[in-house]
Amino acid sequence: MTVCRTVTENTGRRSSSLGIRHSFVIGNSSFVITGPFLFEDPTWLTIVEPNWSFLIARVLLAFEFATLNGGERSMQAVLPHFVGTEFEVVALAPATGPLAAALQAVGVPLVPFDVRDAGGQRRPVDQIHEDLHAAIRHVRPDLLHGNSLSMGRLTGTVAAESAAVCTAHLRDIVRLSGTAVGQLNANRALVAVSSAVRDFHAAQGVDHSRLHVIYNGIDGRNVPPRSGTGSLRAELRLPPDAFLVAMIGQICLRKGQDVFARGVALAARQMPTAHFLLVGERYSTKPESIAYDESIEGELLAAGLSDRFHRLGYRTDVDRLLAEIDLVVHSARQEPFGRGLLEAAVAGCPIIATAVGGTEEMLADEQSALLVPVDAPEVLASAMVRLYDDAALRDRLANAAKQRVTLLFPIEKAARGLANLWRRAMRE
């Protein structure tokens, strides 16, 4: 194989400190080209081999938070699958934090960008827009993608002024103002993480033709069988036979940890060896959010469960925890398509979840999980006791969930779907 000049005579017109390494495999041949590849126009890399040419398209991914929660983890999971493709990915995100570290680990360059100030408050809109335009001028992306609904509103505000094609992910089921709908509709294409997300936003006026369902994906191929070491029980100083029930996720009203607490208070007497874990933290500093957080623990303390309730806070070792947990409970009031549920299913954990949003697309009641109504602590308590008492049912549900999720939502399918959406958007 012969590789021609990387680009046209414009190669000296633009440069950058971003070093990108592209690896391609075509037939039995492979080659590597190292960047920067920053040029005035979309860069054609021509390969002298019949019918092959690549457009190196720079994608600028815009993230709102420095944290590594479901939306960030879902995007992080697909990024390695763009290595060796025509996409050169650059992140626009807070300079420090778990997300920055995760992006560095998968080799994605980062351009610092914050929509919030040091105190966590959202910065003035004009300052955010000014910084976004500066980043676009610096990176010169072919495509700008917002990784959340909020960032999709932001990409929509610059869509008319930017040469970059704008797209975004919708990972929330929330009410939108007319202004928000207009901003989202200014994007060329929108990714809904479930049919529930697509239908909810289409009903609010988001252009249905722009909405494309691409489920979050997960790699379940190399997950070993469950073989807990007992390390979590040892960490919490619990007996080896302690039955661990956990709810994992950001502490907020939408996630329904208060329903979990009420269900636990009702079920605990019938689950004498059970201990109840709350994994995650609260990010909001609003008084009502603080009061909500405090009410969760207050419910369990009032039920006399102080010695059986354990707050683990934010953890970076959730995979290890899932190998030790006997039952995952997810009592969310709304759930677009929960990353935590995918991870629990792949880990082989039996699951109780509320029948809301994308959860009903991910899991089937009585087949791969027990699905319960929203805000029904009595039903939730009954489901917890049922699985506590029936090991065979736990195993059956867990095995079915793992098989279902691995088959229907592989990470390769998510990456392929996103790549195809970007290709179509740039062709339109």
Does residue 260 sit in the same domain as residue 290? yes
399 shares its domain with 422: no
418 shares its domain with 344: no
pTM of the model: 0.85
Task: Answer whether residue 58 is part of any domain.
Answer: yes
Structural domain includes residue 225: no
Same domain, 179 and 248: no
Residue 180 Cα distances to 19, 156, 245, angstroms = 36, 9, 39
Tell me the residue length of the chain: 428
The whole-angstrom separation of Cα 45 and Cα 178 is 42
CA dist., res. 44 & res. 323, Å (int): 47
**Quick one: 332 and 386 in the same domain?**
yes
Same domain, 314 and 332: yes
Residues 156 and 94 in one domain: yes
Of 220, 169, 219, 174, whose CA–CA distance to 399 is shortest? Answer: 220
Residues 267 and 381 in one domain: yes
Domain for residue 42, yes or no? yes
Say if residues 88 and 94 touch (Cβ distance below 8 Å): no
Query: Domain range spanning residue 207?
Result: 2-217+411-427
Tell me if 394 sits within 8 A of 274, measured CB to CB.
Answer: no
Residue 403 and residue 416 in one domain: no
Asked whether residue 222 is assigned to any structural domain, the reply reads no
Same domain? For 189 and 293 the reply is no
Distance CA 367, CA 355 (A): 13
Q: Is residue 223 part of a domain?
A: no
Give every CB contact of residue 368 below 8 A, 6+ residues apart in sequence.
345, 351, 397, 400, 401, 404
Residue 287, domain CATH: 3.40.50.2000
Q: Are residues 163 and 275 in the same domain?
A: no
- Does any domain span residue 224? no
Residue 19 inside a domain? The answer is: yes
Two tokens at 353? 């979840």
Separation CA 33–CA 1 (nearest Å)? 14
Q: pLDDT (tens digit, 0 to 9) for every residue of the chain, 428 residues total?
A: 222 223 332 333 233 334 444 444 434 333 334 343 333 333 333 333 334 445 589 999 999 999 999 999 999 999 999 988 899 999 999 999 999 999 999 999 999 999 999 888 899 999 999 999 999 999 999 999 999 999 999 999 999 999 999 999 999 999 999 999 999 999 999 999 999 999 999 999 999 999 999 999 999 876 767 777 899 999 999 999 999 999 999 999 999 999 999 999 999 999 999 999 999 999 888 899 999 999 999 999 999 999 999 999 999 899 899 999 999 999 999 999 999 999 999 999 999 999 999 999 999 999 999 999 999 999 999 999 999 999 999 999 999 999 999 999 999 999 999 999 999 999 98
